[in-house]
Structure 1
């Protein structure tokens, strides 16, 4: 009987521990309300209240009297309430003063989930493709009057078969780097960056005539023509814990930055085939160092230490892009990623 009682007590303690671990924890100095200002993000605001900012969708109290309560504007008030012992964040619309304008425009823009200014170029100008896509894409063979470099307003010629012949407006990309998994050496994809937008004005056999409408760099021979990837781009994110993955790592830093800090974009060793999608949040861990035991002489691995969190903002087949939203330690290529 005593053994059964101890077993029941142990089960209750385990259940209570799991419940406490899953309960949302508030910041020690959390406010009771907060007035939104220009430049805020949903992540920043939830971080003022919650120790786990990515869990704001779990505590958002939707007010049916407010049109689209997920759009929050400067001047709105976020306040903390309690429902059945759990914290809830609620919204009260701020007062807006309208004044005469010379042109019609929106007075306020809703605040974003994360700072979009730090990832704008990676949302629009970069993409990662598999080897077969790159090999099959038409490539630039030259320009008008035998020129090998062209810019906006120029005409160039490409050779190959269009991947999507129904799209007249396409883009020219240039391979930037090859991604391989640091542990398995498995090929993950080629990163491309956009150099120009082009209109397909004519096609004869496998020769395409392209008029350059907008360029970011000079168009050169061998640049590849691909359909625009706008269907897969999003700018509103609802964070949630990412899946448990093996050998999940940061494999590169985007934008030519040497060390990784808050609001830096990084490339990750997993993608859509691993069940990852925009909005997934991962905890970043620094690998524990190997040290020599001064007594026994053995090599001992120190524990991995948490160094921050990131959120996936774009996912490709085998690679993803993530934005570091909190950094509590120096973050580097090769750091581990786990469920938060």
Structure 2
């Protein structure tokens, strides 16, 4: 059964592995693995890895960078992936078309960079890479906020100026207008982990002070009094993560799903109740599990109960972390997923 189906992607994400990384533990191959595979347009690295490996996220552990190939970190349609063995260990290598049949010689391949094969379907997560989308409680309470619109406006759109409390310095001069939404709560403790945040648009600081004066440059929706301001930060580079194994124990839950969908399936973005403070990093792969309920044993009677075991239901990859929550892309499902499903590092 394939973990990942083909999905066209038009955004560059290069393969990052710059050295031979042979894992200390054995790598399990897929029972029906090929010895070679020609890369097709629309493939992702997860697609390719799934053809060879039982655990596709372990691709970096057996990838061998061929120094004789120009830019061996990028894979393109038409390239051939070969499965060979070194000292009894499986190794995946890249074979690129070359002029003639004789000795392998370096040459330049004139291929647009935006045709390289991405790690995962980047179009599914691109919009969640650069905006805040989650605000910490302390961050929300201390952030400057809109207190008044100029020229008798009661809401703000592109070009509308407004006053905000409080921005004492002129640097930085660019801000994002953010609207805090519902809290993300830990389902077990009830603790607030952060607040869902909607992106309104960028604003330019015209004058610092209390109140400071700013102008909304563009807007995805109207700004209102009480919207918060955060300094504009650099976006998360699309090539900044790779699949990682989480070695420390972790048990978390899915607490929300983004993009307004009601059913959770492949390539949906979900929110986890674990974040950077729990050791999660972009690239960590986690299993999704269901079950664990405690039910009454009606046969035994006398109020006796039994706890059901957890059953595997899918696989996800974390791509962005905040202090106490994370965003993850669902890569594979074997059954419908739900809010409060469990997540943990994959077990052998």
Structure 2 length-normalised TM: 0.82
Q: Please tell me whether residue 286 in structure 1 is matched to residue 290 in structure 2.
A: yes
Out of 85, 88, 96, the position equivalent to 1:85 is 88
Matches of 2:147 and 2:228, distance apart in 1: 10
| Contact kept? 1:75, 1:95, Cα under 8 Å | no
- TM-aligned CA distance change 1:339 to 1:257, over 3 Å: same
Matches of 2:170 and 2:97, distance apart in 1: 49
Matches of 1:180 and 1:58, distance apart in 2: 36
Farther-moved stretch of structure 1 (66-75 vs 111-120): 66-75
Out of 188, 192, 196, the position equivalent to 1:183 is 188
Structure with the higher fraction of residues in helix conformation: 1
- TM-aligned CA distance change 1:327 to 1:184, over 3 Å: same
| Contact kept? 1:73, 1:108, Cα under 8 Å | no
| Contact kept? 2:170, 2:205, Cα under 8 Å | no
Aligned to 2:19: none
Q: Please tell me whether residue 169 in structure 1 is matched to residue 174 in structure 2.
A: yes
Matches of 1:107 and 1:330, distance apart in 2: 37
Aligned to 1:312: 318
Q: Which has the larger radius of gyration?
A: 1
Shift of 1:293: 3.9
Q: Please tell me whether residue 155 in structure 1 is matched to residue 161 in structure 2.
A: yes
Q: Spell out the pairing of 1:171-320 with structure 2 (5 A cutoff).
A: 171-203=176-208, 205-230=209-234, 233-236=236-239, 237-293=241-297, 295-297=299-301, 298-320=304-326
Matches of 1:256 and 1:87, distance apart in 2: 42
SS at match of 1:149: coil
Structure 1 length-normalised TM: 0.84
Any stretches of 5+ residues in structure 1 without a counterpart?
1-20, 97-104
CA RMSD of aligned residues (A): 2.3
Size of the alignment, in residue pairs?
309
